[in-house]
Amino acid sequence: MKLTNLLTSAAVALGLAAGAALAEDKTKVGFVYVGPVGDGGWTYEHDQGRKAVEAEFGDKVETVYVENVAEGPDAERVMTQMALEGADLIFTTSFGYMDPTINVAKKFPNVKFEHATGYKRAENVSTYSARFYEGRAVQGTIAGHMTESNIIGYIGSYPIPEVIRGINSAYIHAKKVNPDVQFKIVWAFTWFDPAKEADAAKVLIEQGADVILQHTDSTAPQAAAQNAGNVITFGQASDMAEYAPKPRVSSIIDDWAPYYIARTKAVMDGTWESVDTWDGIGAGMVGIGEISDAVPADVKEAALAIKDSIADGSYHPFTGPLKKQDGSDWLAEGETADDGTLAGMNFYVEGLEGDIPQ
């Protein structure tokens, strides 16, 4: 009797110890978000990626996230806190977290960091981004065909290369199918402020735009377009299918899940190293949401043709001849832009009006 008791308690103790050991083996993955996970756009998709990591590895990972983290000193505090609490891998998911990520990474050489959309790397800092401009080419094609007023409104967030690339790509492809098209660009200077985004969309509509493209994170422009009636929009970052078939006629979807799973796996296996990833439609990191019935069949066909040719690598959205806004030559006939130029793009292509805020 005594012996069995002893054996049972020993077994329990062993089990507990094993459990504790297992718990210690858990890979802890942190995520720093710029908006709320319920924004329906950018942050929402990153959080879907986080959930995919949990679904993939189950008990072997633990994920933590902090939402609504302002870009700046506050971000550094949040990242430091995560590292101190034992995170093995931290994804920082906004351009403005670039310097904070590098600073915190210096202090925690054993923690791996992954910064989305930035260009600064270190031994333990990888960067990753998606080629959104490929999706913009598809949007621009649809927009150029669909506009009747020939005025396309564009809500920009911050004047950083990623956003400027998108504007250029959309403009080039809208212009290709509709030489009379004109872009009106409004900078919101925020990633996420539904009231301001709605105001911006309304202003563009009042000034004649019947297509609204956005590079901000909420669905407020879709709601404004819906109220206005005859205006079309595109889902940004998420599908935003709740506004289909109109005003949302298609979308650019960020699919981070495969990347997040692969990188978490690399940390578990000990094979993680600092890399720079920039994938597009072909690799599946950028998805094109279903083109709705509001788009005529021939336009849909043209858009899908562009999408397919980008996906199989036979077409590059920035193919010459292209000039810069000031009229100087950029790409010769048939020449394609290199990644370095694209990554640091700080100029408009010829035909776009207005200045980029410096």
Encoded one letter per residue, x for contact with another protein by CB under 8 A and - for no contact, window 138-157 reads ---------------x----
Candidate ranges 47-55, 117-125, 203-211, 244-252; the one touching another protein (CB under 8 A): 203-211
Out of 130, 152, 164, 220, point to the residue binding another protein (CB under 8 A): 220
Q: Which of 27, 119, 149, 187 forms a contact with another protein (CB under 8 A)?
A: 187
Which DSSP category does 319 fall into? B
Among 223, 266, 268, 343, the residue binding another protein under the rule CB under 8 A is: 223
CA 135 – CA 317 distance, rounded (Å): 9
CB of residue 241 to another protein, shortest distance in Å: 8
Distances (CA, A) of 99 to 177, 225, 340: 40, 36, 20
Torsion angle in degrees (nearest 10) through CA of 302, 304, 307, 311: -130
Nearer Cβ to another protein (248/307): 248
Per-position b or e across 41-67, b if 16+ CB within 10 A of its CB: bbbbbbbbbbebbeebbeeebbbbbbb
Strands 182-187 and 232-237: unpaired
Q: Site map for another protein, 49-88, x if CB under 8 A?
A: -------------------x--------------------
Nearer to another protein, 44 or 133 (CB): 44
Least separation in angstroms between residue 35's CB and another protein is: 7
Of the ranges 51-59, 129-137, 275-283, 350-358, which one interacts with another protein (CB under 8 A)?
350-358
Q: How far apart are CA 244 and CA 42, in angstroms?
A: 18
Positions in 242-271 near another protein (CB under 8 A)? 242
How many angstroms separate the most distant Cα atoms in the chain? 94
Minimum CB distance to another protein, residue 198 (Å):
5
- Compute and round to an integer the Cα radius of gyration of the chain: 23
Query: Is residue 39 a contact point for another protein (CB under 8 A)?
Result: yes
CA 144 vs CA 13, 62, 117, 133, 182: distances in Å? 69, 46, 28, 16, 9
Question: In the window 285-324, what residues touch another protein (CB under 8 A)?
Answer: none
Q: Residue 121: helix, strand or coil by DSSP?
A: coil
Instruction: Give the span between the Cα atoms of 45 and 219, in whole angstroms.
Output: 14
* Interaction of residue 355 with another protein, rule CB under 8 A: yes
Query: Which of 44, 37, 162, 147 has its CA nearest to residue 96?
Result: 162
Strands 232-237 and 61-66: unpaired
Q: How far is the CB of 70 from another protein (least distance, A)?
A: 11
Q: Which residues bind another protein (CB under 8 A)?
A: 35-40, 68, 153, 159, 184-187, 189-190, 192-196, 198-200, 202-204, 206-208, 218-220, 223-224, 226-227, 240, 242, 353-355, 357-358
